[in-house]
Structure 1
Amino acid sequence: MRDSLRMPNSSSYLSMLVLPKALDLNSCRYESFEDTLARANAWIYSSQVSGIPIEFMNVQSEALLTKISGETASATVNSGSLSDLSNVTNATLYGFEDYHGVDIGVVKAARLWYSSIAEEMPLEIPLEEGDTRLGFAISRTEEGFIFISSVVDNDKDNEAPSTRSGLRDLFNQAREASKLLVISRVSNEKVLPWMISSSGAIRCFDTISLSQKLSLHRLAVRPIQLHLLMWEKPSGPVERIIRSPKLPPQSELPQVPWNLIESIEPRVDVDEDYVGDLSFRIDDLSVGTSWV
């Protein structure tokens, strides 16, 4: 089944989890599920306007369990009668008491499914001894996507890896199509945004640590395997520059952990998140350009 994939280590289904926005500092009240859907729609629309080559697929509700107490518990735990079902349908936070007497909260979030317009495309950047730079810069959009923001042009005497791999040509084609050249995976690890918290903060990857990871590949003279979100099917010479990944054993590369804005947790702490003034924001990290 793995061999039947059109592009190895790629996916036609991408998603974003949108939590309901808290309406007070105590996280006792949340916006309605319809408002959460509106925020999910605003995120994907804003991404498309920014030039991200994605399209909407589907949206669904997703229940997340969390422990609640105090005012949150008293305001949300219901008696469990049939008359409460209509309220549960529209509520984004409701609770119940388990047989141990512990108050459990259920947060109703929205799971937004989307895909690249023309799927993901793998691109290998070969490296050679003496390469002092990769020849491109990465930045991040307000929606949390990491993209190629600039590529060197004046390297005729000493071609940069970005030129040899064809990345510069793809960058110019994306610019002509008014699209951003978005990185979806690095060494088969996904680097797309994955959640919008109840405060409006977007959980995504940091460009600084990603630049460090790419620089380590250059220092070790190991090829870099990227996956890019495409806006159209590649044709002509671009197809010939796509190579099968030949990654070294993980033990041969220096390890630098991803510097995430916030690590993914198996549960949602609705009491610890604070109320934000904006629909979307990125937590206290620079969104400037990082050259590699």
Structure 2
Amino acid sequence: MKEREKEKKNMTMDRGSESSSSESPTRELKVISIECLRATSKSDEWSAADVLQSGDIVEELRIGSSAGSLVRFRQPFKNGRTGLNKILHDAYKKKETSVLVRVRRGPHEFVELQACVLPGDSSSGKKNYLLRSIADANYVVGFLDTTESECYRLQGSRASRMVSALTRSKAQDGYVSYPWEKKMQEMLSVPNSGNFISMLFLPKASDRVASRYHDVEDTLARANAWLNAAQASGVPLVFMNIQTESLLTKISGETASSTVNSGSLADFSNVANESLYGFEDYHGVDIGVVRAVRLWYAPIGGELSIEIKLKDDDTKLGFAISRTEEGFIFISSVIDNSEENAPATRSGLNHVYRAARDTCRLLVVSRVSNQRVLPWMVSSTGAIRCYDTVSLSHKLSLHRHTKVPILLHVFLWDRALASSIGAANMSPKVVHSNQNKPIETDDGSHQPLKLQRDSVGDLSFRFQDFSFSSNWL
């Protein structure tokens, strides 16, 4: 009787154990997976199959830089990520930072990465260790505690994660150093001086006290007239661009009261064509905005540099300079006698001058000893800010007395002319012709062309009354 009850009790216990075992879920296999933390275009988790990707299962670590010191750690890692972190911590303390990590992707694919141990974030109180790729120092991976099925799911979602990463990806900007001094010395035809040329036109004042100004359309028309006049006089330049340029100034009195205000967006239509409009800053000061016009132009054939070397027996340079109404300095005469062996003849300046004269062009001087001598501004009174021929003549004469070579830059009207001029300099030809053409007056008589009184900005000066034929440097 007792044996039957005991057998019955054992059968009941067996059923209970079977029932409990059938109801408990199957345990997931816990593993350590890779987490891609930082990547670059050279090496990221999407770029190639031989790069570690998020979701790869860590199978083995080989720590050590030589075969004798190599230590292997294989899955399963005791205590998961914590245990793996301790292994890396001990290796880092022993300065054994060279690590080869071997991971599994899917059931049968294996990938390896040669890396070094890197201390990570310790904000949580425990220092975590990461792995940095030897091939790309910007590629860093970490570790996560997860399950094998979760790794497979993450590996299978690689395509969708790539799309998600593309959506989140942003181009980053920053500052990089640049060797400006070197580039400005090597990449410019004239060191530290660009080839962009412009002329600034201030709006013309419509009264003596300069409280009112002509509109922007008037300034644009004056810029256009100046450009056309320069081209008509023989200056070989071509239009490049034109723009308005805002200049801030403090205004008061009648100027402030007569100025159109731009206090709101509704006022923009009122200032669209105004050369001067004003507004108040937060201190209540009246600020005026002057709308100037900047005209950009360029020589048709670029600039040609001519070096004039001087000798002890040189008594004159052999050329004369003058200036157009538009403010351009140009070579007005060149000695045409090769027997005198003047510096202008030796340098080939006479050939360039003859080529300009034959094509009805002016030989405009753009730089003297690398200093630009072009006009650069028109004031509100209409005066052109440009260089004085008297001071330039004095500077060139000082070059002759000190025997310091002169470097002139001139405007070209044909790019192919530079090479032909270089060939002509080797065997200069003597051309006997009168270069100083007289001006015909109203009564039919002829008289030499003479320079008139000149005014630049607020400064005025008078030239000597001489003709081109006697204006030798």
TM category, shorter: 0.7 to 0.9
1:106-158 CA distances to partner (integer Å, 9 max, x unpaired)? Answer: 110000000000111111001000111100000000000000000111341x3
Larger % of helix: which? 2
Distance 1:198 1:86 in 2: 24
Change (3 A) 1:144 1:79: closer
Change (3 A) 1:285 1:88: farther
Counterpart position of 2:342: 160
| 1:182 aligned to which of 364, 374, 380 | 364
Distance 1:74 1:145 in 2: 39
Change (3 A) 1:118 1:11: farther
Structure 1 residue 262 displacement after superposition: 4.2
Residue 406 of structure 2 is aligned to residue 211 of structure 1: no
Counterpart position of 1:35: 218
Structure 1 residue 103 displacement after superposition: 1.9
Structure 1 residue 238 displacement after superposition: 1.8
Structure 1 residue 235 displacement after superposition: 4.4
TM-score when scaled to structure 1?
0.81
1:218-255 CA distances to partner (integer Å, 9 max, x unpaired)? Answer: 1110100011011112245522589xxxxxxxxxxxxx
Distance 1:180 1:79 in 2: 46
Indicate the structure whose relative CO is greater, using CA pairs within 8 Å and at least 6 residues apart. 1
Instruction: Write the letter of the residue equivalent to 1:261.
Output: V
Equivalence map 1:111-126=2 (5 Å): 111-126=294-309
Confirm or deny: 8 A CA contact 2:247 2:292 kept in the other structure. Answer: yes
Distance 1:161 1:79 in 2: 60
Gaps of 5+ in 2: 1-182, 426-454
Confirm or deny: 8 A CA contact 1:77 1:103 kept in the other structure. Answer: no
Distance 1:55 1:97 in 2: 41
Counterpart position of 1:54: 237
- The number of aligned residues is 255
Larger Rg: 2
Distance 2:419 2:264 in 1: 64
Distance 1:8 1:232 in 2: 20
Work out the percentage of aligned pairs sharing the same amino acid: 58
Gaps of 5+ in 1: 243-259, 264-281
Distance 1:204 1:120 in 2: 19
Distance 2:200 2:283 in 1: 30
Distance 1:61 1:208 in 2: 33
Distance 1:127 1:114 in 2: 33
Moved more, 130-139 or 64-73: 64-73
Query: What RMSD in Å do the two structures reach over aligned CA positions?
Result: 2.2
Structure 1 residue 283 displacement after superposition: 5.2
Structure 1 residue 285 displacement after superposition: 4.4
Counterpart position of 2:326: 143
Distance 1:123 1:32 in 2: 43
Counterpart position of 2:456: 261
Q: Secondary structure at the match of 1:291?
A: coil
Structure 1 residue 78 displacement after superposition: 2.1
Counterpart position of 2:285: 102
